[in-house]
Structure 1
Amino acid sequence: MNIVNKLTLRMLKENKRRTLVTIIGVIISVAMVTAVTTLFASFMNLLQKEAVADNGNWHVLYKNVTKEQLYEIKNDEETDTVFISRDVGYAELERGQNPSKPYLHVKEFDSTAFEQFSIELIEGRLPKTPNEVVISQQIIDDGGVPLEIGQTITLQVGDRYYKVDDDEGITNNSFSLVYNGDELAETIINTVEKEYKIVGIINAPNWEHSFSPAYTVLSSTHEAFIGANEQVNASVLVKKLNRSIFNHSNQLAENFGIEEVIFNDELLRYHGIVEGDNLNRTFISLVTIIIAIIVVGSVSLINNAFAISVSERSRYLGMLASVGATKRQKRNSVYFEGVMIGLISIPLGLIAGIGGIAITLSLLNGILQNVLNLRTELTVVVTPMSIILTIIISMLTIFISVFIPALRASRISAIDAIRQTKDIKLSRKKVKTSKLVRKIFGIEAEIGLKNLKRNKKRYNATIFSLVISIVLFLTISYFTNSLQKAAEMSNFNPEYDISVSFDQNFEQIDQDVIENIRSFEDVTDMNIIYYFGSIEGYVDKSKLSSSLKERSKDFPDMLEDGKYLYNIDVNVLEDEDLKSYVEQISVDFNPLINSDHPTAILFNKNHFYDMEKEKYVEEEAVNLDIGDKIALQYNDWVTEKRYQLAEEVEIIAEETEQLPLGIYNSTNPGQFILIMSKSSIEKLVGDIDIETGTSEMYIKSSDPMKTVEDLENIGINKDSIYNVYESKKNDEQFLFVLGVFVYGFITLITLITVSNIFNTISTSIALRKREFGMLKSVGMTPKGFNKMIHYESIFYGIKSLLYGLPISVIVMFLIYKATEFSYEYEFYLPWKSIGIVIVAVFLIVGIVMLYSSSKVKKENIIDALKQENI
């Protein structure tokens, strides 16, 4: 080891605090990259296993191929493994006890297919000949037919034929039976008698859902058993899995006359290969942004650390230059420092990242399996590629971080370094400040501002650290909000715990029962909502939602005289519940109950899945304004008559965020919600006799299980009570798991940024001991010194926010555009998070400045003036 490297190691040992902060920052950075790549590999592995459990381990399925076509598929250059299967047909299950599953579905698999379709044998063995079968355990448990291993069964196997009015034909629908009214409208035709020996019992395969019309029976087949005119299904695993699979497979099918090709989209998606998948594009875009955030934050921290190191070592680097050290030696001393930091930090970061994910997954595995209904455990998967990728990213991060400081170190001249004039250059123009600063804030503020201008590089390094911190926090905060928004748009998550259905309108419900329920000890919130049957209203073209306006351009026939007929979800609340709701949204209650004409609150938010755009969309449901009136009509489902309601309804308020308990957003583009009082609906309906409405009670409870018991005890029919608490528990567990990963990520990001700020500011303050000593020597009091430090903190905060907030908005908008592949909603700013950031910036800077300045405040003036380095 040469003398320069020895001196570098000595400097690292002498500046233990800065070295430790740098090492910790790099370890966190490496751990985060490791955690992201490991978690990604682990989840992809889990999802692949789940996809295989659901649909089998195959990539391409060629339907109904002949023996000759099968030969061509097997000899294709891209084919790795081929296994065959075929549907033999359906047979009636004699003595079956479940009318929803009257059939057996007989299929044939070859030996490889039994493995690749994840058939789980409970007892016995798998069939080896076409005369042997394994049966689903559900035939015994759910169907009530006591079949046994060794028993021989005779089945009449054929096709399911249905006839409903003039519609008839063969159905292979494996999801439901065909009914005509309440009667089964199908039977088995074209039957062939087959005799099978039961040799094993299997768990019900995943395609045999609870609502499937048939239980599974599997027999054996082989290529040798296929006749010249018979057809089978050929499932293929390809050699090289890439996007060319789609074109190649379709071309192969076209070349050899194969009519139908099916791709295992779910499995291919989790291998990162899917054709035209918006969700995949969204995921890749977001992961790319997250990795970029980690790298930028890490580069910021490490770069500042090495820049500070070079600044601290500038005098000794100049002395080395004076005794003959070359530019290359000085530059390599900084690279050597980076290598030393990397050698310590990268292995520890890898261990910390993998260990952290392993511990997290072991603690959350039970919850994940329960929430996501997983059949397999989520195990930590560490691939060589993920480790190599992490090391490469970490090495590049360190190299980028040390490049500029190393370049700067090589250019340090002996005279400038010894005189210490490189960083601080006093020129009138450079340190000029506005006269208003002294006038408004005093001389301490002016000195503080001049200090920042004199130490331009250190000042900019600190500002850069703060800006990065602001951007990281706001970006992750917005990312979290985007995940919640996506979950909200794609799932119905009721706020209530219990609902009670009444086949009565609000006039028929016993009010004493309602008041009794309100008095339950555990009931924290409650709503009674009355629903009409079918209410519609015409809305002018100019008032339509954006999606309907777009659609009307392509389909003008959807408009009638320039108007569109909306479905309107009219919800009537009890006066007490309505009053509580309007107080929450700051709306006057009086016009809703005392107006001489019908009035309503318009809830004007709608989210739905747009089939054409292949994304979730959120928009204003209708462009009605406060004061607008709309005429409504009622469709009686029983008499099939349409009634024009007595008066127009006036919109007196509009709401887009908060709905009453029990009401949820519209889920199609031609619908909006009106909330009304009893008195308004009575004015609206007039003399029309409406008997088709129903009422629902929605309850939030601190103890839902006890509340259900209390409801049953006062005579509420058990069948009319729906306890959604259990399903909500799963949703809450999912959000908890999501929160662990998201907020764990935020915590690590925060550690990087806070250590970055602490390292930069504290070192900067420590390097200014001579400056502070000089100020004290000319009469600056401790009070004035504190005042100067406070103003410097304010200047740091203001400037960092001026840069950080606009950059954050740009990055947030990029995330918004990334989610737009799958979700369409208006861009918004997280004002609460922005407020937290503004307070946090001044708080963090202030605390670090005060902490660092307290270390030099008691410094002896003479010692401080003699100080040349920390």
Structure 2
Amino acid sequence: MAAHRHDPDEKNLAPRRAGGPARSVFVRFTLRSLAANRVRTVVSVMGVALSVALIAAVLTSVASLSNMLVERTAADEGWWYAEAAGITEQGLEQLEEDPEVTDWTAVTDLGTVSLGEDNSSLFGPYLYAKTWPAAGTGSDADEPLLQAPELVAGRAPEAAGEVVLPHYLQNVELAPCGLSTADGGAITLGSAVTLDLGTRTVENLDDGSTYTATSVNGSYVHETTQRESFSADLGSIEVTVVGFYRSYGFSSTMALQGNSAYVYDDGSALAGALSDDSAATWASAVFRTADPAKAADVANGLANANEAEYGTSVHTSLIRWMGATPDTAIWNTLYQIAGILAAVVVVAGISLVYNSFAISVAERTRQFGLLSSLGASRRQLRRTVLVEALVIGAAGIPAGLVLGLAGCYVVFGLVGEGLAALAGGGAAATVVVSPAGLLVAALLGLVTLLASAWVPAIRASRVSAVDAIRQTQDVHLGRRARRTRRPALPAGRHEGAGAVRSLGLAGRLFGVPGFVAHRNLSRSSSKGRVTVAALAVSVALLVTSGSIADVMGYATETSVDTMAGQDLVLYVDATGAGADQTLALADGRVDGPGMQKELASFYDEVKDVDGAHPNGYLTSYVAEVLLPAGMVADDAEGLEGSSRRLADGSWYGQANVAFLDDASWASYVDELGLSRDEFCDPAHPRAVAVNAYTVRGDETYARLAPLSAGGALTSLEFADLDGRFADGLRDGADGRPEAYYYDDSGNEQALPLDQAVAREQQIEVGALADHAPVGVSLSGSLQLVLPASAIELADTMGYLRASCSLSTDGDAVRASDAQDEIEKIAADHPALDVTYTNVAEGKLQSRLMATAVNTFIYCFAAITGLIAVTNVFNTLANALILRRREFAVLRSIGMDGRAFRRMIAYECASYALRGLALGFALALVANVGLYEAMALSYSTYEFALPWPQIGLSVAAVLVVIAVSVTYALRRCGATGVVEALRSEAL
């Protein structure tokens, strides 16, 4: 016998367990094992990398979206964190000395300007003189504390004696009031104006108490319980108009609240307001702190210590996106969603990596047994598996972080415009790399690895040398398996030479290959469940993501379809600030025939604008209508502005009435298949009533058909009852309709119908339609459509507005170009005030938003599905590779290639069918849940499965099984029968 050559590495390893040499032996052993099983190693690294990449992408996306929301909010409202309105001298001193405050500025109210009764109906009763928002004490030009009002003409005040006025006063000549021009003419850029400043005083009639009304607390005065007076007691200032700003009358800050005249602050306004004794002059300070979370504490300190008159407020709409307010419901929701997604990824990753390590340990059972026989301790065996996990993590975690960030940059680059639209504009969607997010992703990846490797490591450390060499741990038969091995035999028979065992259903259908495959599936049910679960998760994710995309598409298309055929909408008014008021009548009415004439002239020029197709024009009115019982269906009570049906079966409520231009009316009549002779006769006008509405109830949307037939309805104009008008109709004591109103004390008073109604008009409804004409947007109220030639019927109605729309085939740029041309045309029609809505831009934003959301959905589903598919490949391929000895035995006893392929095909078919069935069941549950959620809001939403995604999932299952089996059988086939039987796999 040849002498055995001593190898130092074969020494007892136990004494070295605390030293470096033994440890290095196991590290080298681990590295050799990883190198020897390159495919499994690569798959494991891919699994870790994908898991970490998806977690990093989710957390980075959350950080990026949060930053975008911060930027968007700040772009609209400014970078201030808190505000102290009505601040005192002591409070200002405290603000300046507080080390936590990094930046502050103040806006000073100088008094109130009365516009007088003659101007109040159009421009409001008052203006508030304020200082133009100045930069803060430590302001960054890119992060101003306050966003200055939007200028529509001119510039901001830059020197003493300059003022900026609201846009609705541009080119307006006011009746004599507290705002006057030096030349007595209209207010224009460069006009010299005088502002008479004063004090508004409101008296409570019940107790005689009074208070000074300002832009913060004086927006509403109750006429029946309060009385107000104005005194021009604060002097006057002479200024030059240098600009006009777009005034909305409200602001996110108390400092900029109200319609104001902004003057330049030379630095003396704040000190003057704090030192005088007038309640009409006050200041509001807005500030920023080093830590957003401390802004509320600083603000509360100012309010409690200095009794600021109007209190303090915190800019929660901004700092909530920084996670710095107690009211963090939205913020918490955002991170909870991210946490749920991360949990899904971790579970998928653990499933993949755990299977990889479990297979690795199972394949190297003999190796661990031999190591144990050479003296390796359990701790060293556990360390071998854990070192393998750390090596895989060292490659997979950094790769995952890089992959996740790269994916974010790609996705944000593709859908950044849609995300900006989703946020409402004002900020760009850029990737913000969060070190904390990357650290969390790396730690979760490490936890995934250690959790996945721990159980296999424990299993490896418990391997007995003798059992490992004999491989007695590879197969464990449960009670059910043992029962199926011994089927009942007839009485008196026993298993022996003469006994014939049934092959079962699988054997009878597929022969011996089917019988063997069925036995393999029965004995290895736990391994099969892992494969089936991985397949099911992949299928469910793909199908569910398709369902979510369909739901988003339905919601988006529903909102866009309401403006079908309209890309640019023009809203035309004769009573607005931009009109010369020649068509305006008393009490907000307009000259109907004159309006139609002017509108027709305007439209004749608009319809020739290049690149836009006109849809006609219309004038909208609101009418109080009474319908006879024969016209009313039960759905009428669901309309907005509706009362219950009266006792005689009639119905009272509000109706919107649209008067179409005659050409559009004729087209609508033809579209409905009606007779032009009957519906286009100016001497006998007939209306069309739209009889299909989707209205929102308390919790759901409902589809209503409120009318049962046509007929003659009555349009009512209520009489003036000493400054009051009837609030509606109800059943009288005699069962007939009567009117009611509320007196000064708030008590309901009844009035006979003939006394409450000043005039009435009969309108014949000749047909019911299931849709409105283009340009008429349905609300929840009854909609009537008439030709413009019947405008005389509007005498009893309240004027709403006029509008016309154009189509540019969805091209937002063409719509914008058309708007530029129409603005030039509108300048030649001073009687009309025209505003514009680029609907095509809104539709584009809706499409961009849907694309952005769907991209994120599909990216998440694709990566998670890839993890699941990788899991299936790793589990199935390696499970087959581990059965090389079994396959060699089958081939050695005569199983040919055809029978062998039939056996494998049977097993794979079982995996596929069970995986698809379970995956479809999970997806069905998710789809039903989505349907139920949508049905709560959309009663017309129909349940449907996303068949393209179902087909994709079936194809994915078949492909991954085919690839896995092909790869595994090639690996098995590369080893000869004798070699496989003798394999010890060290």
Same fold (TM over 0.5): yes
Residue in 2 that maps onto 1:582: none
2:840 maps to 1:796: no
Amino acid at match of 2:393: G
SS at match of 2:350: helix
Q: 1:250, CA displacement in angstroms?
A: 5.4
Q: 2:392, 2:401 → 1: CA distance? A: 14
Cα offsets for 1:820-861 (capped at 9, x unmatched):
9xx96689997433x455544443332233333334265576
Partners of 1:88 and 1:108 within 8 A in 2: no
Letter in 1 for 2:527: R
Change (3 A) 1:130 1:769: closer
Distance verdict in 2 for CA 1:16–1:707, change over 3 Å: same
The 5-angstrom pairing of residues 632-643 of structure 1 reads 635=715
Choose the corresponding residue for 1:158, options 197, 200, 224. Answer: 197
Indicate conservation of the 8 Å contact 1:32/1:748, yes or no. yes
Distance in structure 2 (CA, Å) of the matches to 1:779 and 1:604: 75
8 Å CA contact 1:618–1:825 kept in 2: the answer is yes
Q: Does 1:467 align with 2:536?
A: yes
Q: Partners of 1:204 and 1:475 in 2: how far apart?
A: 46
2:82 partner letter: V
Cα shift readout 1:606-659 (whole Å, capped 9, x = no counterpart): 458x7xxxxxx543355x79x9889995646799867898899999x9xxxx99
Question: Residue 49 and residue 14 in structure 1: after superposition, are their counterparts in 2 closer, same or farther (change >3 A)?
Answer: same
Partner of 2:215: 172
Cα deviation for residue 339 of structure 1 reads 0.8
1:28: which partner in 2?
50
Paired position in structure 2 for 1:117: 144
Pick the aligned partner of 1:334 from 377, 385, 405: 385
Query: How far is the alpha carbon of 1:26 from its aligned partner?
Result: 1.5
User: Which residue identity lines up with residue 84 of structure 2 in the other structure?
Assistant: Y
Is the contact made by 2:132 and 2:265 (CA closer than 8 Å) also made in structure 1? Answer: yes
2:456 aligned to 400, 405, 410, which one? Answer: 405
Q: 1:421 to 1:40 in 2, by over 3 A?
A: same
Within the candidate set 46, 51, 72, 1:50 is matched to 72
**Paired position in structure 2 for 1:592:** none
Give yes or no for contact 1:708–1:721 (8 Å, CA) kept in 2: no
What is the TM-score normalised by the length of structure 2? 0.62
Pairing 1:687-698 to 2, within 5 Å after superposition = none
Is the alpha carbon distance of 1:203 and 1:708 closer, same or farther for their aligned partners in structure 2, counting shifts above 3 Å?
closer
| Matching residue within 881, 889, 901 for 1:766 | 881
For the 8 Å contact 1:473–1:749, the answer to whether it is kept is no
Q: Single out whichever of 633-642 and 348-357 deviates more from structure 2.
A: 633-642
Contact kept in structure 2, 1:130 and 1:221, CA below 8 Å? no
> Residue 109 of structure 2: SS of its match in structure 1?
strand
The amino acid across from 2:701 in the alignment is E
Quote the offset at 1:86 in angstroms. 2.2
| Equivalent pair of 2:568/2:805 in contact (CA under 8 Å) | yes
Matched, 1:9 2:124: no
Cα distance in 2, alignment partners of residues 445 and 569 from structure 1: 73
With over 3 angstroms needed to count, the CA separation of the structure-2 counterparts of 1:533 and 1:765, relative to structure 1, is farther
Read off the aligned partner of 1:112 and give its amino acid letter.
T
SS at match of 2:449: helix
2:383–2:457 CA contact under 8 A, matched in 1: yes
TM-score, normalised by the number of residues in structure 1:
0.69
Q: How many residues align?
A: 780
- Asked whether 1:288 is paired with 2:370, we answer no
Deviation at 1:540, TM superposition (A): 9.3
Distance 1:301 1:574, change over 3 A: farther
With over 3 angstroms needed to count, the CA separation of the structure-2 counterparts of 1:203 and 1:274, relative to structure 1, is same
- 1:866 alignment partner in structure 2: 981
State the alpha-carbon separation in 1 of the partners of residues 247 and 569 from structure 2: 36
Q: 1:64 offset after TM fit, Å?
A: 0.6
CA contact (8 A) 1:134 1:202 kept: no
Equivalent residue number for residue 452 of structure 1: 521
Q: Which amino acid aligns with 2:439?
A: I
Aligned equivalents of 2:561 and 2:220: distance in 1?
28
Residues 1:130 and 1:732: Cα distance change in structure 2 (over 3 Å): closer
Shift of 1:63: 1.2
Counterpart of 1:307?
358
1:227 aligns with 2:227: no
Tell me the distance in 1 between the aligned counterparts of 2:538 and 2:524: 21
d(CA) in 1 for partners of 2:931, 2:328: 18
For 2:405, the equivalent position in structure 1 comes to 354
Q: What SS does structure 1 have at the residue aligned with 2:535?
A: helix
Unaligned runs of 5+ in 1: 94-98, 122-128, 148-152, 179-185, 505-509, 580-597, 611-616, 683-687
SS for the counterpart of 1:47 is helix
Shift in Å, 1:13: 0.8
Number of the residue aligned with 2:307: 257
The residue type equivalent to 1:227 in the other structure is S
- Partner deviation per Cα, 1:353-373 (whole Å, 9 max, x = no partner): 223334544566577668867
Gaps of 5+ in 2: 1-22, 116-121, 149-156, 172-186, 203-210, 222-228, 486-502, 573-591, 593-599, 659-664, 674-686, 719-756, 827-833
- Decide which moves more: 225-234 or 461-470: 225-234
Supply the AA of the counterpart residue of 1:745: F
Alpha-carbon offset, residue 67 of structure 1: 1.7
* Partners of 1:489 and 1:607 within 8 A in 2: no
Aligned to 1:620: 702
Q: 1:345 and 1:238 mapped to 2: Cα distance? A: 41
C-alpha separation between the residues in 1 aligned to 2:271 and 2:557?
A: 54
**Is the CA contact (8 Å cut-off) linking 1:85 and 1:221 kept in structure 2?**
no
Letter of the aligned partner of 2:866 in structure 1? Answer: L
Structure 2 matches for 1:38-437, cutoff 5 A?
A: 38-71=60-93, 83-89=105-111, 105-107=130-132, 109=134, 111-112=136-137, 117-118=144-145, 145=189, 156=195, 158=197, 172=215, 189-190=232-233, 192-194=235-237, 214=261, 217-220=264-267, 226-227=274-275, 229=277, 231-238=282-289, 240-242=291-293, 253=303, 256-258=306-308, 259-274=310-325, 279-280=330-331, 282-361=333-412, 374=425, 377-426=428-477, 429-430=480-481, 432=484, 435-437=504-506
Could you tell me how far apart the structure 2 residues matched to 1:53 and 1:868 are? 70
Residue 832 of structure 1 corresponds to 945
Change (3 A) 1:202 1:138: closer
Letter in 2 for 1:832: L
Paired AA for residue 956 in structure 2: I
- 1:847 maps to 959
| 3-state secondary structure, aligned to 1:112 | coil
Is the Cα–Cα contact under 8 Å of residues 161 and 187 in structure 1 kept in the other structure? Answer: yes
Q: State the SS of the aligned residue for 2:137.
A: helix
**How far apart are residue 396 of structure 1 and its match?**
1.7
Q: Which residue of 1 aligns with 2:867?
A: 752
Q: Aligned letter for 2:76?
A: D
CA pair 441-331 structure 1, distance change in 2 beyond 3 A: same
Tell me how far 1:10 sits from its aligned partner.
Answer: 1.0
Offset of residue 482 of structure 1: 5.8
Q: Is the 8 A contact 1:465 1:757 kept in 2?
A: yes
Cα deviation digits, residues 33-81 of structure 1 (max 9, x gap): 2222222223323332333333232222121122234456667897676
Q: Which amino acid aligns with 2:396?
A: S
CA, structure 1 residues 811+732, in 2 after alignment: closer, same or farther (shift >3 Å)?
closer
Matched, 1:736 2:851: yes
* One-letter identity of the residue aligned with 1:844: A
Task: Calculate percent identity across the aligned residue pairs.
Answer: 23
- How far did residue 461 of structure 1 move? 1.9
Deviation at 1:344, TM superposition (A): 1.3
Of 690-699 and 804-813, deviating more is 690-699
Whether the aligned pair in 2 keeps the contact of 1:158 and 1:191 (CA below 8 Å) is yes
Shift of 1:757: 1.9
Structure-1 separation of matches of 2:893 and 2:653? 80
Which secondary structure does the structure 2 equivalent of 1:220 belong to? coil
- Deviation track 1:752-785 (CA, whole Å, cap 9, x = no partner) reads 2222222222222222333334444455454444
Give the C-alpha shift of residue 171 in structure 1: 6.6
> Does the 8 Å CA contact 2:77/2:147 hold for their aligned counterparts?
no
| Counterpart amino acid of residue 43 in structure 1 | L
